[in-house]
A and B are shown apart, each in its own frame.
Chain A
Amino acid sequence: MVELMITIVIMLIVGSAIGVVIVDSQHGWNLMYDHINSDVVTDGYVARKKFDSTIRKASGESISLGDDGGWVEVYYCASDSSTAPDRYARFYKADRDLKVMYGKLAPKVTLDTDTICGNVSGCKFKQAGRSVQMILKLNDGTQENTIVTSAMTHN
């Protein structure tokens, strides 16, 4: 009987400890998983990739920047046969989305608008010569992620 009681007490203590460790470990794991794979992180990858690819194919001759850095517009050629930039792409923040608007030049007509990512709490564009910078802050209420990226216009 004594042995049984000792065994039960040991099992209770160890079982409780294991339970606490498992719960804490799972909580930490969930936090870290979110830190790596949550929307604010993956959205950041998408935004950076889109910004880079668009800016790098743009012409460095002209870059339009909003007064408060709220938007940036670059110009690029639609195809290899174009002798001058005949398309534009404008990045801007609308509500909590980062969007890019594509269109034709002369006359200026909007062709399409894509939503790049959501959860945007702040977005500023800056220009230094032929390079354009984007400082994008993403926040889903539980996590903040600041994306900084810069791209050179190569045409």
Chain B
Amino acid sequence: MLHRLSTKRPKRIVQKTYKIQAHPGTTLASTLTAVTIILIALIGTSNFRYYAALDARKATAQTTAARVALMLCENWRGIQGSLSYDPVAYLGPDLNVVPDKGPDKPDDFTFLGSYKIVMDEQKNDAQGVDYYVTLSWKDIQPGLRALNVIVTWAQRGQTGFENTNKTFTLTIYTLT
């Protein structure tokens, strides 16, 4: 029996050769570069937040100091600048005010008293600030008296008069 011979040529196994391409991967250098960039961005963001928080705290302390000065001035003015005015008697014990050290009075004013005022005790509020106050007065002319209040506090949150580094001064006038 004749077999029909195929005219096709037998298949040959051809080995294909593939060129292995070296794709660039993540190297140590590129990783460190990325880490450095991330760190710079992170430090920048943290810096911004730190100063924003710090400035907010400074602003709060200064606003409170201004309020304390205004309250004392108007309290004192309510009794026509009486020279027997004592904040402890008028405002204590509801307000934590006690005689203590205080900033220097203006040169041409007469000293009345120095006090320490604690608005929010640090056991209740870690941001609490102690304020040191000096009251002084000066007769401008008969029947007209200038009332001066100087408030000082520590901006960095320390306690103690020796750490105070910021001052707010208010002078108002009253008829006596």
Interface members, chain B 90-148 (any A CB < 8 Å): 90-91, 94-95, 119-120, 124-125, 127
Interface string of A13-24 (1 = CB under 8 A from B): 010001001100
**B5 at interface by CB-CB < 8 Å:** no
> A126-B91, A135-B94 are contacts. A11–B71 as well, Cβ < 8 Å?
no
Q: Are A135's CB and B91's CB within 8 A?
A: yes
Binding site of B, secondary structure by majority: helix, strand, loop or mixed? helix
> A10-B35, A133-B71, A135-B94 are contacts. A18–B120 as well, Cβ < 8 Å?
no
Tell me the bound Cα distance from A28 to B42 in angstroms: 15
Q: Are A128's CB and B75's CB within 8 A?
A: yes
**A54 at interface by CB-CB < 8 Å:** no
Q: Are A133's CB and B79's CB within 8 A?
A: no
Q: Are B49's CB and A35's CB within 8 A?
A: no
- Residues of B with C-beta under 8 A to A122: 94
Tell me the bound Cα distance from A10 to B30 in angstroms: 12
Tell me the bound Cα distance from A133 to B85 in angstroms: 15
Q: Are B31's CB and A35's CB within 8 A?
A: no
* Size of the chain A interface, CB-CB below 8 angstroms: 39
- Residues of A with C-beta under 8 A to B91: 126, 133, 135, 148
**A6 at interface by CB-CB < 8 Å:** yes
> Across the A-B interface, how many residue pairs have beta carbons closer than 8 Å?
101
**B166 at interface by CB-CB < 8 Å:** no
Q: Are A35's CB and B77's CB within 8 A?
A: no
Closest to A145 in B: B120
Interface string of B8-45 (1 = CB under 8 A from A): 00000000000000000011100110010011001001
- Residues of A with C-beta under 8 A to B95: 135, 146, 148
Closest to A29 in B: B49
Tell me the bound Cα distance from A144 to B129 in angstroms: 13
The listed residue (B27, B39, B75, B90) touching A3 by CB distance below 8 A is B27
Q: Are A144's CB and B28's CB within 8 A?
A: no
Closest 7 A-B residue pairs measured CB to CB?
A131-B78, A129-B78, A32-B53, A150-B74, A128-B78, A150-B71, A129-B79
- Given contacts A10-B35, A144-B124, list 20 more A-B pairs with CB under 8 A: A6-B28, A10-B32, A21-B42, A25-B45, A29-B53, A32-B53, A32-B56, A122-B94, A126-B90, A128-B75, A128-B76, A128-B78, A131-B78, A131-B79, A133-B71, A133-B75, A133-B91, A144-B120, A145-B125, A148-B71
A-B contact pairs, 11 of them (CB 8 A): A7-B26, A14-B35, A32-B52, A32-B53, A36-B56, A124-B94, A129-B78, A129-B80, A135-B95, A139-B124, A150-B71
- B interface with A by C-beta (< 8 Å): 26-28, 31-32, 35, 38-39, 42, 45-46, 49, 52-53, 56-57, 60, 67-68, 70-80, 90-91, 94-95, 119-120, 124-125, 127
